[in-house]
Each structure stands twice: as structure tokens, then as C-alpha cells.
Structure 1
């Protein structure tokens, strides 16, 4: 697993999981997307949005 960004206070993380998919989530919920450049930017933007 590769973590791009992480908020230790909320537990929210984004990165690439062991299956090669992008993810955004915490220990309760989240989502996965195929690993493309466009989706990487989408996941990072969502991470920033949820960590205002």
C-alpha cells in the first residue's frame, strides 16, 4: 500500500492499495478507482476537500 496523503486526526487516507487501485477513506468507509493520472488528481482533490 502506498499512502499519498493522510490525516492522523481523522484517519482519512488516500493512495494506492495492494490491488493497484486508488482509494480514499478511513476505517469506516471510502471508495476505490482505477489508477489513472486523472483519477489520482480526483482522489487528492477529494482528500483536500474533506480535510478543509
Structure 2
């Protein structure tokens, strides 16, 4: 299974488009995006287990 982990909390990130995502080792880093109303500048880790 997989679990999203934010650098500060463990909440799920809101749905978004126009984001950047990269793989670092066995983790994925999600940055920014846009949900149709708001622009995001946050960072989230996806840590597959």
C-alpha cells in the first residue's frame, strides 16, 4: 500500500493539476499545483510501503 506524508503533518494532499512530481530513491516528491481556484506551493512525500 501507499501513504501520502506531508513534511509537517500526515494529512492527504488536496486534489490538484499542473503540479510537479519526481522520484527520489524509493519516495516521490509532489510540489505545487492548481485546483481550479487555488495555486499551491506546498511539498508532499509519497512513501510506498
Q: TM-score, normalised by structure 2?
A: 0.29
Q: TM-score, normalised by structure 1?
A: 0.29
